[in-house]
């Protein structure tokens, strides 16, 4: 009997946590389909992995037709998909009153609207399969609470958390839904920040924690815990305390 190698489609695999996750899952014997806009980076990643039969499907997550096309190609190649992991994201630090509106649209489209594009394709596919497949979506601890200077990235991630929660409520019986909320992770995205990032971890450590969480029964995978639990606590503060503290900090900056 042939050994079953779990099959995972990673969207946003060309860099950052998505790339590190691909490397981690490859080391565990998973079969991967790698997607992102950068075909060259995907091919370079594939050539560095130990299993040489991984698949590469370049796509823009804002292109619904291309997502349908790749989904059909995967069905022809694999039959069924064990996991879909959505890691794609765009980030640019900005503050209200000094926004680049074209960049704001790109962030909202990539971080939130594109997930609707993907879900419209993969949810029916995963529900139709003979097995209970998994769908994991990466948001961010930045979506827990509105912080000064976090727009529009934090807003897009807050919306994404809401979306994944409602997805779990609607389809949690037929699909294993996971919400991934990282804190600060070393990447080309956080390299743009000029402020101190507490408890920042490497993408490799983040990938190991995601991999472990995907194999658990928990809904939310969040890390590093010292940071994410602090953010969760801040989100529970009464508004008068929360706004006093953060308004003072923002005015003094």
- Active-site residue list: 153
Could you tell me if 38 and 14 are in contact, meaning their C-beta atoms sit under 8 angstroms apart? yes
> Please, are residues 212 and 170 in contact by the beta-carbon 8 Å criterion?
no
| CA Rg value for the chain | 18
- Sheet (strand 176-182) strand order: 55-56, 31-35, 7-11, 83-86, 134-138, 176-182, 220-223
Alpha helices in the chain (DSSP H): 16-27, 39-48, 64-78, 101-108, 114-128, 153-171, 203-214, 225-235, 239-252
**Token pair belonging to 52:** 């040489």
DSSP secondary structure code for residue 113 in this structure: I
Helix axis angle, 203-214 relative to 16-27, nearest 10°?
60
Contact 201, 223 (CB under 8 A): yes
Q: CB of 122 within 8 A of CB of 71?
A: yes
Q: CA triplet 207, 212, 218: central angle to 5 degrees?
A: 120
Strand-pair partners of 62 = none
């Amino acid at each position: 009997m042939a050994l079953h190698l779990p099959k995972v489609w990673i969207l946003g695999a060309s860099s950052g946590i998505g790339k590190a996750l691909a490397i981690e899952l490859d080391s565990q014997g998973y079969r991967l389909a790698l997607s992102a806009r950068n075909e060259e980076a995907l091919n370079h990643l594939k050539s560095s992995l130990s299993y040489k039969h991984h698949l590469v499907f370049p796509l823009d997550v804002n292109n619904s037709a291309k997502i349908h096309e790749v989904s059909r190609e995967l069905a022809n190649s694999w039959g069924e998909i064990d996991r879909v992991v959505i890691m794609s994201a765009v980030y640019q630090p900005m503050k209200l009153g000094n926004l680049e509106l074209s960049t704001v649209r790109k962030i909202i489209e990539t971080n939130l609207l594109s997930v609707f594009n993907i879900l419209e394709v993969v949810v029916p596919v995963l529900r139709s399969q003979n097995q209970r497949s998994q769908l994991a979506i990466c948001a961010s601890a930045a979506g827990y609470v509105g912080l000064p200077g976090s727009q529009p990235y934090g807003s897009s991630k807050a919306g994404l958390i809401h979306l994944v929660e409602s997805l779990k409520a609607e389809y949690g019986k037929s699909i294993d839904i996971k919400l991934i909320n990282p804190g600060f992770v070393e990447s080309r995205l956080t390299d743009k920040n000029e402020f101190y990032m507490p408890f920042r971890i490497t993408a490799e450590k983040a990938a190991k924690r995601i991999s472990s969480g995907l194999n658990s029964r928990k809904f939310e995978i969040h890390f590093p815990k010292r940071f994410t639990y602090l953010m969760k606590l801040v989100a529970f503060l009464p508004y008068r305390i929360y706004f006093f503290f953060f308004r003072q900090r923002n005015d003094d900056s």
